[in-house]
Amino acid sequence: MDERNTTTITESQLPQADRDPEHMQGHWVLAKLGKRVLRPGGEKLTKRMLAHATLAGRRVVEFAPGLGRTTKLILNAGPAGYTGVDRDEQVVNIITPLAASANGTCIKADAAHTGLPDESADVVVGEAMLTMQSERGKRAIIGEAHRILKPGGLYAIHEMGLAPDDLDASVKDAIRRDLAQAIKVNARPLTAAEWRTLLESEGFEVLWTGVEPMALLRVRRNLADEGVAGVLRIVRNVLTHPDLRARVMRMRRVFDAYGDALTGIAFVARRTD
């Protein structure tokens, strides 16, 4: 069977697996517990997004492939080329054999400075990686996507959103503060209008937007994303790792506290110039 449908990731391959659980970034805590889909709107929103970004026969660059679930979807769509870009060496080691199964590669680089040639991609995909950057960091990565895309090329992103667009500034600040404490990442989600303005100001026109609930730690979402066997593995790990369990409970309390104000949001945007 094809490499891309069979890969299993062992605990020792995971980023930050040897770190004290109290200091691990939230997504790697979840990965250590067995989660593989690490984006806020789940695989459903990913699939909706990819359906609006033709991949077959296109040169695709994926920023921050993580554990490779979207990589598999991209490769199964039959792209003309695939390049993953992640700043974490362990991620690169996970993605490289997957990419190689379709003559692709994965490079270790910051998505803000990929070193890839100008206008060498038709589609750039990036999920759950802009939210964790500062305003300047977000702009640098979006600008890099613009540089490596050919004019008219598509940039597909899936990130954490805030709703509604007129959410009170004090609530936004509280969400950012509580998220940072719970997930140990300076997460700065934006409203739909703010994401759109950011993309437009970096030379993109938004073609499509989709929203799903931010249900990363909900049972139903995990059944959809990880399957029954995956959920059972996660539950077993949660029960047997009290230190990781404490981290997950703290994350869940924050996600629950803000309810509908936190979303998974995706955009497909076109390079306009």
Contact residue for ligand SAM among 58, 59, 86, 145 (CB under 6 A): 86
221 is a contact residue toward ligand SAM (CB under 6 A) = no
Q: Which stretch binds ligand SAM (CB under 6 A): 61-69, 146-154, 221-229, 237-245?
A: 61-69
Separation between Cα atoms, residue 49 and residue 54, nearest integer Å:
10
Number of residues that bind ligand SAM (CB under 6 A): 21
110 is a contact residue toward ligand SAM (CB under 6 A) = yes
87 is a contact residue toward ligand SAM (CB under 6 A) = yes
Task: Answer for the pair 151, 273: CB distance below 8 angstroms, yes or no.
Answer: yes
Q: Which stretch binds ligand SAM (CB under 6 A): 51-59, 82-90, 170-178, 206-214?
A: 82-90
111 is a contact residue toward ligand SAM (CB under 6 A) = yes
254 is a contact residue toward ligand SAM (CB under 6 A) = no
Q: Which stretch binds ligand SAM (CB under 6 A): 76-84, 122-130, 203-211, 237-245?
A: 122-130
35 is a contact residue toward ligand SAM (CB under 6 A) = no
Residue among 68 and 203 whose Cβ is closer to ligand SAM: 68
Q: Which residue is nearest to ligand SAM (CB)?
A: 66
Site for ligand SAM in 125-164 (CB under 6 A): 127-129, 132
Q: Which stretch binds ligand SAM (CB under 6 A): 35-43, 48-56, 199-207, 262-270?
A: 35-43
In sequence order, what DSSP letters do the residues of the chain get, joined into one string? --HHHH----GGGSTTTTS-GGGS-HHHHHHHTT----STTHHHHHHHHHHTS--TTSEEEEE--TTSHHHHHHHHT--SEEEEEES-HHHHHHHHHHHHTTT-EEEE--TTS--PPTT-EEEEEEESSSTTS-HHHHHHHHHHHHHHEEEEEEEEEEEEEESSTT--HHHHHHHHHHHHHHHSS----EEHHHHHHHHHHTTEEEEEEEEEE--TT-HHHHHHHHHHHHHHHHHHHHHH-HHHHHHHHHHHHHHHHHGGGEEEEEEEEEE--
Q: Which stretch binds ligand SAM (CB under 6 A): 33-41, 115-123, 209-217, 242-250?
A: 33-41
Separation between Cα atoms, residue 39 and residue 46, nearest integer Å:
9
Site for ligand SAM in 159-218 (CB under 6 A): none
Task: Answer for the pair 69, 37: CB distance below 8 angstroms, yes or no.
Answer: yes
Q: How far apart are CB 4 and ligand SAM at their closest, in Å? A: 15
Q: How far apart are CB 151 and ligand SAM at their closest, in Å? A: 24
Residues that bind ligand SAM (CB under 6 A): 27, 37-39, 63-66, 69, 85-88, 91, 110-112, 127-129, 132
